[in-house]
Structures are given as structure tokens and as C-alpha cells.
Amino acid sequence: MPRSFDAIIVGAGQAGPALANRLTAAGRTVAIVERHLVGGTCVNTGCKPTKTLVASAYAAHLARRGTDFGVLAGPVGIDMPTVAARARKVILDSRKGNEDWLAGMPGLELIRGHARFAGPRDAQGRYTLEVNGESITAGQVFLNVGGRAHVPDFPGIEAVDYLTNSTIIPLETVPEHLVVVGGSYIGLEFAQMYRRFGAKVTVVEQGPSLIGREDEDVSREVRDILEAEGIDVRTNACCIRLAPHAQGVAVGVDCTEGSPEVIGSHVLLAVGRRPNTDDLGLDVAGIEVDGKGYIKVDDHLRTSAEGVWAMGDCNGRGAFTHTAWNDYEIVAANLLDGADRKVSERILGYALYVDPPLGRVGMTEAQARASGRPLLVSKRPMSRVGRAVEKGETRGFMKIVADAESRRILGAAILGMSGDEAVHGILDMMNADASIDTLQWAVPIHPTVSELIPTVVGDLKPA
């Protein structure tokens, strides 16, 4: 006979354990099924280890700049086994923290294995899932299955060894020449990181610019920052192909300028993500997906099958740890607290963790202009931010876009030191639906990057 639970959660990433905690605290029995590693992408192959590696790369970069600050030291070396071990410890500590959290939840069973729907909802309003040859049932199912690196079918890809964001993390050697295919968020973080570890790095991007979803001035400044550190950037790579080479891998690019081929010792594929939805039996349960495999959800994160929700990267409504966590908050509030929270109410913020980082919230300037509304725009270079000058980190700028009629902020970009932190002052104002006048009269702490936000607001002019 199938084992029965009140709820089944498939996937122990960011949203799953948190929801399990709320459900078990409410007295419900819960099975959480995890086929790989507890903690999901963030803990095991994403935020935790990559930002640990970024920190090591920043330490090396700052050490090399010691003479700029009057600090005299010898040549800087990189001990990659120690760098990798540091990242590995962060992973293991975080994963254990999640596992211990689950173990302490009364009414919860963690099942290791791959879950698949056995069919549609039955007459009793329950779903049956198969795991390791065993059947489990519940009236509510929550999918938190995450995503993985997309591996495109570039010509020759089957003949070469390549890295992804997952397999590059445990690397204990510095590549002689790392070719990063993909000039967006993940690729650029690894490109700068490994350049600072001592590798020659080339970024190959099919589009005309890096991080194509961002404004042109942001993309251009990020490229300037990377090129200033010695990273080669090849955009308009219209014909990417891979082939074995005596020195490693040959990456064909056919760009309009420069050599039509880049030879690297290693190649990292960073060309997007895909959801882990292709082997769950979604079709037999009546759960619809879009053309890219993302589970279709409504504003409350309900799928097309009654009693099934999808949270996190697999629903295509956000590709970040914090949006997955917010998905959990929405589902839990609506189910357990009688709320009516919606995904469409979410104001999206995110960051690109190159150095200096890019903090972003809301619309880009291009998106705001395309909306046709009257705009106010203000931009200030980081070279005019006292805190940045004091720390010798003056690359980048701050930009705010507002609606001239409602006097509400539509979006902002802070590309500069502490940009990932400072942008929260703007994000919070947008969540509070406060006018730019309220923000302009705030009294921030000096000296900080955030203290310039009211000044930037005061400089808003019609676009």
C-alpha cells in the first residue's frame, strides 16, 4: 500500500525545506523527496561556493594593489587547493545545516530518490508519486526541483571536455587559458574570478554586447572593467563550434573582428539554465510546461493541476535564490495564513557579482523608455562618491529612473563598490510605494555609498 502524507515536496532547494518547516509546524505530515543534494543550487553549486571563490579572487586582486595603498609585499601566489577547500567547506557546512534543520522537523520524512507522478489526481483528491519503487501519496504536491546548466548543441561539443558552473567549482588548478562561452551573469563572474587567479581568460558572447538584458551603458562599463583587468572579450560570435586541440580546446567564433578561432586549455559553458522538469511525469499528472520546460503557474504559483504548486527556478518566474524563497513565502502565506499574495506584486532585484558588483532593481532605462511614460533620469559616476574614492574603487556609476507623473522610482542600477548592498535602499522604497521626494529627504550615514542615493534622486531630470 502507498504511504500517505498530507503534503509531498519534491526538491530540497531554497523553497522546499522552508515550506516543510511551516507545514510541519502546522501539524501536517510531509515527505520531502531529494534525488541529489539537500540545499539545491544555491548551497551546492551556486551562491555559496561561487561567492566564496569570488572573495578569494578579490583578496588576490587587492593584495596585488597593495602598493596603491602604501602596503609593500612580495609577489602574490594562488594556492588553488586551499581556495577550493574553502569553497568546499562552505558547501558542506551549509548542506549539513539544511539537513539538520530537516531532521529536527516533527512529522517530516526526507526520502532520497527521484520522484515521478504515477498519474492524475484520484477520486479522493490525492496524487501518487513513485520513488525508488515505492508509492507515496498526498493531497498537495509542491515542486521545487530547480534547474541546471544548459548545454547547447554546438558543433563538436561531443568531442571535447567542457566545464559548467557545477564542475568548475571543485577545480584545484588554474587553467592556462579559460575560454568562457557566454557573456552574462554566471560567465562573467567566473571570467573575472579566474583572471584574478592568474589564468588568461577570453569571453565569447554570441550577442552584440555582454549581459544583453541590461542597459547599454551598464554593459559597456562592465566590459571596460573586465578588459582593464586583461580579459579578452569577443562579441558577435555568430558561429560557435568546438574541437579538440593540442593545447586543449579550439573554440570557433567567426566574429567580425579578430581571429576566427580561440584556443583555450579549458572551456566553460555559461549559456543559460534549464529546468529539471523533463523526468517527473508531469504530463500524466496534467501539469503543463512551456516550450522551454518551465512549469506554468498562475499568480499564486498554482500549476494547471489542482493541488500542485511549483516554486523556484523550475517555474520560470525568477532565477534567483531570493525569488525561490519569496515563492515559498507566497505559498505559505496563502495556504496557512489566509493571505492573498501574488507573484506579480514582487519587485525584482538582483546582482551581478563581478567586482565592482552591479545591483539592479525594477526596470532598466530602456524598458522604462519603451513604456512610453514621461521619465526622470539621473546618473552619477562612482568617481564622485566619497566612499569609493577613499577605498580606491571608483569604477562604475549610479543610475535611477523614475516616473515623472507619479514620482515613483521605476528602476535603478548601482554598478560600483557595495552596489549589491546600496541598491536595497531603493528596493525598499519601491516596495513601500514611497515617492522620490520621501527618499530625497532621507538622512543617510556618511561616509557610505548609500548616502549618495538622495543626491542622485535630487538630480533627476526629464529624460
Residue from 283, 317, 278 nearest 300 by CA: 317
The model carries a pTM of 0.96
**pLDDT for residue 257:** 73
Catalytic residue among 61, 177, 245, 446: 446
Q: What pLDDT shows up at residue 1?
A: 84
Identity of the residue numbered 122: D
Domains assigned to the chain:
3-148+274-345 (3.50.50.60), 157-271 (3.50.50.60), 349-462 (3.30.390.30)
**Residue 287: alpha-carbon gap to chain centroid:** 26
Q: How far is CA 138 from CA 128, 293, 328, in A?
A: 7, 24, 19
Distance (Å, rounded) from C-alpha 274 to C-alpha 288? 16
**Catalytic residue flag (residue 446):** yes
**Interatomic CA distance for residues 176 and 180, integer angstroms:** 13
Q: Tell me how far apart the alpha carbons of residues 168 and 234 are, in angstroms, rounded to a whole number.
A: 21
Mean pLDDT by 10 residues, the chain (463 residues): 96 97 98 97 96 98 96 93 98 98 98 98 97 97 97 96 97 98 97 98 96 98 98 93 96 82 97 96 98 98 98 94 98 98 97 98 98 98 98 98 98 98 97 94 95 96 96
Query: 312-346 in b/e burial notation, b at 16+ Cβ within 10 A?
Result: bbbbbbbbbbbbbbbbbbbbbebbeeeeebebeeb
What is the DSSP code (8-state) at residue 443?
-
CB 421 within 8 A of CB 356: no
